[in-house]
A and B are shown apart, each in its own frame.
Chain A
């Protein structure tokens, strides 16, 4: 593997591994599988990211050339925890239909639930999202709900039965980074279920800053897939998520508006 040298983990361990709905995960970084130049590149990038949770989409089989698209021909479902998404669904009933199809594919009852409300921004339709979350949770699904950074919606999703709430850092595929750290922090402070920031992370520093807010994890796709070198970026994201997590656990120094010298002010020559 060309980037094997990038795979070494940091030596620090996380004292509290990520647990969602009673299941422990080996990484706080979750990755999508879209937009890669090739399947080989996707596989190598996902391996470099260290992610365990990997999201996939449900689509019609292209009956003329199904072999190229089928993700299961490339990713081993025993090695990764595959979660189907409902990307592209614009109302609750479509999202529910896609979720059921994803579950029937036979891996698990987890779903990354998206109900999109607007084609230009891909921002969520929170009314449809709440409705679909409730229905699917009642059917036994483990719902990870992609939402905006609104606290009230996040609280309602938790109440509706979501096992994790996934507020956006910024719109899907935008790479704008976290636009509202206050909102993300507030959601994390108020929810009992894990908060996984989903969408908008554009580079490693974005991921690090997101994790420094204390959230439980990050899901990203385009930030890795659209990099010039996706495999190297995947490794960078892995390091950034770990660094941000450790920085959060370590507790940052207070911000000051004035300088405080790091070196002794005594013992200067000529005094």
Chain B
């Protein structure tokens, strides 16, 4: 967390190691949409647990201090 004041209507959370602020009430689907990510090609881990059910993205409300990891497949051997 930085020392900057958090607006009342926002929460702070970590996304891929970087702090982000999002409006209160945002779901995981809202976050992914704001990042222009297609749920089909990514995997999300929330606080160390994989969010397996992609259909739940639209109902999963994000909470303050959530640690979100968004991964995908890249080139490798």
Contact = CB atoms under 8 A, between A and B. Distances in A.
Interface in B59-77: 69-77
Nearest to B15: A63
Interface of B: 15-18, 35-37, 41-43, 45, 50, 52, 69-77
Contacts of A172: 77
Interface stretch (A10-18, A54-62, A179-187): A54-62
A21 interface: no
B56 to A, nearest CB: 13
A219 B76 CA distance: 12
A243 B69 CA distance: 45
Contact of B42 (A61, A82, A85, A219): A61
Nearest to A70: B72
Contacts of B36: 66
Interface in A17-63: 32-36, 42, 55-61, 63
Residue from A58, A61, A173 whose CB has the most chain B CB atoms within 10 Å: A61
> How extensive is the interface on chain A, given as a class?
35 or more
Given A100-B50, A101-B50, A105-B43, A71 B77 contact: no
Which 7 A-B residue pairings sit nearest by Cβ, starting from the closest? A57-B76, A32-B77, A221-B77, A33-B75, A56-B73, A34-B75, A71-B73
Given A63-B35, A66-B37, A34 B45 contact: no
A87 B76 contact: yes
22 contacts: A32-B77, A36-B75, A56-B75, A56-B76, A58-B72, A59-B74, A59-B76, A60-B17, A66-B36, A69-B74, A69-B75, A70-B41, A70-B73, A72-B41, A82-B73, A84-B73, A101-B50, A104-B43, A104-B50, A105-B43, A221-B76, A221-B77
A71 B74 contact: yes
A71 B74 CA distance: 5
Given A60-B69, A63-B15, A101-B50, A35 B41 contact: no
Contacts of A84: 73
A50 B17 CA distance: 38
Contact of A59 (B35, B45, B50, B72): B72
A33 B37 CA distance: 22
Contacts of B37: 61, 66
Contacts of A35: 75, 77
Interface string A202-222: 000000000000000001111
Interface of A: 32-36, 42, 55-61, 63, 66, 69-73, 82, 84-85, 87, 100-102, 104-105, 172-173, 199, 219-222
Contacts of A102: 73
B28 to A, nearest CB: 14
A72 B72 contact: yes
A222 B73 CA distance: 18
Given A101-B50, A104-B50, A105-B43, A55 B74 contact: no
A222 B77 contact: yes
B62 to A, nearest CB: 16
